[in-house]
């Protein structure tokens, strides 16, 4: 009896704890939903605060579980919403100026470029001040903030100005020790995605292409800062090369920033700018809350008017449907075919703007999306806006557009194909003591199994498949860009290009951001006013809760934990998916301090 009571009480306690956890989880969800729907007011004389350390997506994500995951927010803003909010703030008399909080920027080069351009527009159109301050100024954060009227840093803070670098990890030595043979097939001498598995250092071709686009990025970075701060580009390059900026005071001396202050001193400076007394309260509003305050009026613009479909394509290109995968990480062919077909058949939609931010993925999935966009282009204008990456498969799905807009520091091109079929025969036999045997009805029936090496016939068969996919890729580009196939092949070979080089070589049409692409689509459709229809469609709150719990909680926690190292995990995940099928994929991700 005593044992029974003990067991009963333990079970009862566990049940109570379980229901308490469910209760607090439910309260967290309700609180999160309340936070996302709470009405926000903008006080007169407010500083619009933008934290440059916050991640941005292409399309806004509202998720009450983000706060539970430790991110401290329930919304990750979309880039277009940020740019729209900055433009609206220029005309909003309640906004006194913009206050940039410096930090380590997790966003890509082209994303940073769009934000910086929007800030420049704000400054020139409104003549309102922009101030920047922080404890840490990463190179990208400083590049964005260089358009500010004044930049200040904590006296004991960190100012990074050391130039750009790309570092790659090579796994061939490890694979040799494990007796794993990565049987590699590729087309394109610059297609370096497989180099980590077959080499111990960068090939000369890869070194040439990486140096070229990195130098393009760096020159653009230096010239932008030099123009904004009235400095000499050569002098800036020399400062980075010699490592002369070690303390914030060094940056002040060389006129890269305007001074050093502690946070309380910075707050007093902001008060003085808007003519507030020492005891008066400084009004601030985050850009996320400001967007909530103006979103209804922005979305209400063009009501009843013809539409332009804005389709966001962010992440790895995969076959099938996304199902439970986070929408900011995959471009699932079946889902995008459905959405493109829907807007193609909708007479109210007069044009399509396809926003691509992808390093590529499945060649077959890219071909299927290309086909649907090709059919759409026959009926209405299709304009592509490229984000941080639109390379390999990302370029495949972009190349048929009527017009392609690109940022100077977008990575694009990488027109090439590869696949990897690992041979683990020796690993299984020598390291694990495992052997395999079987029967087959035809010589190629068991081709591609990982427990045996490929025969010469099988290798030739697979290489023919890769060559065919590459030839098709080049034909698609030639058709979309109105180029001879031979010229495309000379620009292809898997080579990665900067946005500037892409325009010069005819792979893109002009430098510009998403707003420029939307204006182009409106002109091509002869629209003076229009409304936006965004895809993927925004789900209702209940759907968001169910899907968000499965999708975003783990991803957001990983991002918060790993910080700037999260792309390494993403790259490893991408590499795992390359096994056995033709891939049109960028050979690397780039992230800088």
CA distance 405 to 171: 36
Contact 577, 315 (CB under 8 A): no
Residues that are catalytic? 191, 392
CA distance 31 to 554: 20
Domain limits, the chain:
41-161+245-293, 301-433+447-562+569-585
Q: In what helix (H) or strand (E) does residue 48 lie, and over which residues does it extend?
A: strand 46-51
Q: Evaluate if residue 42 carries a pLDDT over 50.
A: yes
What does the pLDDT read at residue 322?
85
pLDDT category, 292, cuts 50, 70, 90? very high
pLDDT category, 279, cuts 50, 70, 90? confident
What does the pLDDT read at residue 39?
76
Contact 585, 361 (CB under 8 A): yes
pLDDT in tens, 188-224: 999 999 999 999 999 999 999 999 999 999 999 999 9
What does the pLDDT read at residue 20?
59
Q: Evaluate if residue 296 carries a pLDDT over 90.
A: no
What does the pLDDT read at residue 467?
96
Q: Evaluate if residue 227 carries a pLDDT over 70.
A: yes
What does the pLDDT read at residue 573?
56
Contact 399, 476 (CB under 8 A): yes
CA distance 156 to 411: 35
Show the tokens assigned to 207: 């070194």
* Within this chain, domains 41-161+245-293 and 301-433+447-562+569-585 share the same CATH topology: yes
What does the pLDDT read at residue 368?
98
Q: Evaluate if residue 60 carries a pLDDT over 60.
A: yes
Higher pLDDT, 47 or 303: 47
CA distance 467 to 475: 12
Q: Evaluate if residue 2 carries a pLDDT over 80.
A: no
Higher pLDDT, 341 or 29: 341
What does the pLDDT read at residue 476?
98
Show the tokens assigned to 75: 């919304």
- For the segment 497-512, the average pLDDT, to the nearest whole number, is 98
Share of residues in the chain with pLDDT > 90 (%): 76
pLDDT in tens, 393-443: 999 999 999 999 999 999 999 999 999 999 999 999 999 999 999 999 999
Q: Which fold has domain 41-161+245-293?
A: 2-enoyl-CoA Hydratase; Chain A, domain 1 (3.90.226)
Contact 114, 516 (CB under 8 A): no
Between the ranges 258-262, 577-581, 589-593, where is the mean pLDDT highest?
258-262
Q: Evaluate if residue 26 carries a pLDDT over 70.
A: no
Share of residues in the chain with pLDDT > 70 (%): 81
Residue with tokens 């033709």: 582
Q: Evaluate if residue 160 carries a pLDDT over 50.
A: yes
Higher pLDDT, 82 or 39: 82
List helix spans (H) across 279-437. Answer: 287-300, 333-345, 363-377, 393-396, 425-426
Q: Which fold has domain 301-433+447-562+569-585?
A: 2-enoyl-CoA Hydratase; Chain A, domain 1 (3.90.226)
Contact 358, 412 (CB under 8 A): no
CB atoms near residue 89 (< 10 Å): 25
- For the segment 468-492, the average pLDDT, to the nearest whole number, is 98
Nearest Cα to Cα of residue 171 among 208, 150, 132, 200: 200
């Amino acid at each position: 009896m005593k044992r029974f009571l003990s067991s009963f009480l333990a079970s009862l306690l566990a049940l109570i704890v379980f229901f308490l956890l469910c209760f607090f989880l439910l309260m967290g969800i309700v609180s999160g939903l309340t936070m996302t729907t709470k009405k926000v007011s903008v006080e007169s004389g407010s500083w619009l605060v933008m934290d440059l350390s916050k991640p941005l997506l292409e399309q806004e994500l509202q998720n009450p579980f983000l706060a539970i995951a430790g991110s401290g927010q329930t919304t990750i803003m979309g880039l277009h919403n940020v740019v729209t909010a900055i433009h609206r703030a220029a005309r909003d008399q309640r906004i006194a100026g913009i206050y940039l909080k410096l930090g380590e920027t997790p966003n890509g080069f082209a994303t940073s470029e769009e934000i910086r351009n929007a800030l420049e527009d704000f400054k020139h159109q409104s003549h309102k001040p922009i101030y920047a301050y922080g404890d840490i100024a990463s190179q990208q954060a400083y590049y964005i903030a260089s358009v500010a009227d004044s930049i200040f840093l904590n006296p004991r803070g960190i100012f990074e100005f050391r130039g750009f670098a790309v570092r790659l990890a090579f796994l061939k030595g490890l694979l040799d020790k494990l007796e794993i043979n990565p049987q590699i097939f590729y087309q394109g001498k610059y297609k370096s995605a497989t180099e980590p598995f077959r080499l111990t250092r960068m090939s000369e071709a890869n070194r040439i292409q990486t140096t070229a686009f990195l130098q393009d990025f760096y020159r653009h970075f230096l010239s932008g800062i030099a123009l904004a701060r009235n400095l000499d580009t050569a002098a800036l390059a020399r400062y980075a090369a010699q490592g002369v900026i070690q303390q914030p005071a060094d940056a002040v001396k060389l006129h890269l920033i305007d001074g050093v202050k502690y946070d309380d001193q910075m707050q007093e400076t902001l008060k003085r700018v808007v003519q507030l007394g020492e005891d008066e309260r400084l009004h601030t509003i985050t850009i996320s809350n400001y967007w909530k305050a103006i979103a209804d009026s922005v979305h209400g613009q063009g009501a009843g008017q013809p539409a332009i479909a804005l389709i966001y394509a962010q992440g790895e290109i995969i076959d099938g449907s996304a199902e439970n995968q986070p929408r900011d990480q995959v471009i699932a062919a079946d889902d995008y075919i459905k959405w493109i077909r829907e807007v193609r058949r909708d007479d109210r939609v007069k044009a399509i703007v396809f926003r691509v931010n992808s390093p590529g993925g499945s060649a077959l999935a890219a071909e299927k999306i290309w086909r649907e966009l090709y059919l759409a282009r026959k009926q209405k204008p299709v304009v592509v806006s490229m984000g941080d990456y639109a390379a390999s498969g990302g370029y495949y799905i972009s190349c048929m557009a009527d017009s392609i807009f690109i940022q100077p520091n977008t990575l694009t091109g990488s027109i090439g194909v590869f696949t990897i079929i690992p041979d683990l025969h020796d690993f299984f036999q020598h390291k694990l003591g495992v052997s395999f045997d079987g029967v087959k009805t035809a010589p190629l029936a068991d081709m591609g199994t990982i427990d045996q090496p490929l025969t010469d016939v099988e290798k030739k068969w697979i290489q023919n498949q890769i060559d065919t996919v590459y030839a098709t890729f080049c034909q698609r580009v030639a058709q979309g860009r109105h180029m001879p196939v031979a010229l495309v092949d000379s620009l292809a070979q898997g080579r990665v290009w900067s946005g500037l080089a892409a325009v010069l070589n005819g792979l893109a049409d002009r430098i510009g951001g998403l707003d420029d692409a939307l204006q182009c689509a409106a002109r091509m459709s002869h629209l003076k006013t229009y409304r936006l229809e965004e895809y993927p469609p925004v789900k209702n709150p209940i759907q968001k809760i169910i899907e968000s719990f499965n999708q975003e909680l783990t991803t957001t926690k990983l991002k918060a934990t790993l910080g700037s190292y999260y792309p390494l995990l993403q790259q490893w995940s991408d590499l795992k998916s390359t096994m056995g099928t033709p891939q049109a994929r960028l050979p690397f991700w780039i992230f800088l301090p």
